[in-house]
Chain A
Amino acid sequence: MTEYVIIGDGISGSSAAETLREEDPESSITVITDEGEALYNRILIKEHAKGKLPEAPISIHEEDWYEERDIELSLNTHVTGVDTDEKVVHTHEGDEIGYDKLLIATGGTPTQLPVDGSDAEGIHHFWTFQDARKIRESAEEAEKGVIVGAGLLGIDFAAVCGAQGVEGKYLMRGDRWWRYALSGEGAEIMHEGMRDVGVEPVFDSGVDHFETDDDGQVVAAVDPNGDRYECDFAGVAIGLTFNTEYLGDIDLEQDNGIVVDQYMQTNLEDVYAAGDITRFYDVLLGEQAQNGSWGSAKEQGRIAGVNMAADDEAEEFEWVSSYSITHFDFPFLSFGHPTLGDDHAERKYSDTEWRRIAFKDGKVVGGVLIGDLAPQSKLKQLMREQRVVADQKEVLLEETVDLDDLAPPQEQ
């Protein structure tokens, strides 16, 4: 009987456990998590923080889900070390759990701002359900908020401020939100969305330090220009630090994430990784990449499970990810790798509609659609087909994309 151990009960770890049980019914499966609750819907916790969604629908698995599948779930359990020679996982309670195959799916922890006062009361990071509960509670009492981190995670804090009636200042280091993927025209649509919910973007700013009162509660953020923004609530989302410290000095290849191939295999025999923590080989991009979307993590877990059970390279990970922002009146969708590639095309269609397509070697590798998402399925199709189309940008920027207008694919 093969013994599988999965560290992490997020969507990738849980997806792997479910797949392993289906693929290898007689096996032993153990899932270890340091959280105190079983799998929940991480992409819905922001709705709870906004005060719009009750807790119950966010839960995905009750503990009996694991019991029914004969999966051992260890909650509130910290892994303190992994011995890949002896094939043993050590926990904080001194337990040693042996494995034949190990999956690392521990994701990351929000990075703290390296400035004075960043650990004050009222300053929040957003990753777990428990974080969301605290943010909701804090935002409900707050009057003025400051948001730091001009990316896909930071904008959730802007939405929380907007939904909870907190007057927000969104302090951005550059001249626009998500400057790596959006030009000024695209970003301005998002800025208007923020203003519409009561959050004012502040450019060429950031945080030099936070001020606190005698009780350690944040009272203001001061930016590098010396401008002071009063706040009793702050949200910081400047990135993730991957949870690998417990792996110690084992010879696992890492490069700002655990390096895996398209089969979710690390460089160590019988050790796999899946989810946000991976730097995986993207067969569509032709290079290593990272992705933090729900769908990508779920699929990586499934692929890892398939290959672990097969003890072979049975199926490779090939996925076009999607990441939506649903906080405003207009839809926003990012797909694939919009910040990568060697070429791009973009167009603004109206005050709420904009499109960007990223290309690498002439092929679509990602994009951002704001306002009108109708072309998303066709652009994803082109990405999957790895068709060279960068020489036909006008067709792809038409308001209505018709793939029949593209020149026939050439032999490649």
Chain B
Amino acid sequence: MATTTSTGRSLTLRRVDSVAPDATVRHIDQLDDRSLELFYAALEGGRRLTATGTDLEPGTVVVATGYYRVEAA
């Protein structure tokens, strides 16, 4: 599980196998550049994240090389 921070909040990315019909789902190409950078850094892990903001919200599922649910840490 990877961890990133967003405007004071800690977020984790959890890989999921399925998506609920009421989920908010975004493709990775919908993320802004900063969020994209943080997202992949968090996925790959081990990288220090110094940015302060993303446009990711807890509960959102992001479609990348897998499906990842953004969760509050």
Contact = CB atoms under 8 A, between A and B. Distances in A.
Interface string A41-73: 101100100001111111000000000000000
Contacts of A58: 25
Nearest to B39: A373
Contact of B29 (A47, A324, A330): A324
A139 to B, nearest CB: 18
Contacts of B37: 374, 376-377
A294 interface: yes
Contacts of B23: 57
A23 B19 CA distance: 36
Contacts of B24: 57
Contacts, number: 69
B63 interface: yes
Contacts of B19: 52-54, 57
Contact of A294 (B27, B34, B61): B27
Given A53-B19, A373-B40, A44 B28 contact: no
A345 to B, nearest CB: 22
- Main SS at interface, chain A: loop
Given A56-B21, A56-B22, A326-B65, A331 B40 contact: yes
A47 B63 contact: yes
Contacts of B2: none
A330 B22 CA distance: 28
A349 interface: no
B10 interface: no
A43 B65 contact: no
A330 B27 CA distance: 16
Contact of A328 (B22, B33, B40, B65): B65
B64 interface: yes
B72 interface: no
Contacts of A57: 19, 21-25, 61
B30 interface: yes
B56 interface: no
A374 B25 contact: no
B-side binding surface: helix, strand, loop or mixed? mixed
B33 A380 contact: yes
Contacts of B20: 54
A322 interface: yes
A28 interface: no
Contacts of A329: 65
B30 A295 contact: yes
Q: How large is the interface on B (under 10, 10 to 19, 20 to 34, 35 or more residues)?
A: 20 to 34
Interface centre among B19, B21, B29, B44 (most CB of A within 10 A): B29
Given A331-B40, A374-B40, A377-B37, A322 B63 contact: no
Contacts of B33: 322, 376-377, 380
A323 B21 CA distance: 25
A52 B18 CA distance: 7
A43 B29 contact: yes
Nearest to B21: A56
B28 A326 contact: yes
Nearest to A327: B65
Given A295-B30, A376-B37, A377-B36, A326 B64 contact: yes
B40 A43 contact: no
A80 interface: no
Interface string A287-323: 0000001110000000000000000000000000011
A27 B25 CA distance: 32
A376 B36 contact: yes
Interface in B18-64: 18-25, 27-30, 33-34, 36-37, 40-41, 44, 61, 63-64
Give the 6 A-B residue pairs with the shortest CB-CB distance, closest first: A57-B25, A56-B21, A43-B27, A377-B37, A54-B21, A324-B29
Interface of A: 41, 43-44, 47, 52-58, 293-295, 322-324, 326, 328-331, 373-374, 376-377, 380
Interface of B: 18-25, 27-30, 33-34, 36-37, 40-41, 44, 61, 63-65, 67
13 contacts: A53-B63, A56-B22, A57-B61, A295-B29, A322-B36, A324-B64, A326-B27, A326-B63, A326-B64, A330-B65, A373-B40, A376-B37, A377-B36
Given A47-B63, A57-B25, 13 more contacts: A41-B30, A52-B18, A52-B19, A52-B67, A53-B63, A55-B21, A57-B61, A58-B25, A322-B36, A326-B27, A373-B40, A376-B33, A377-B33
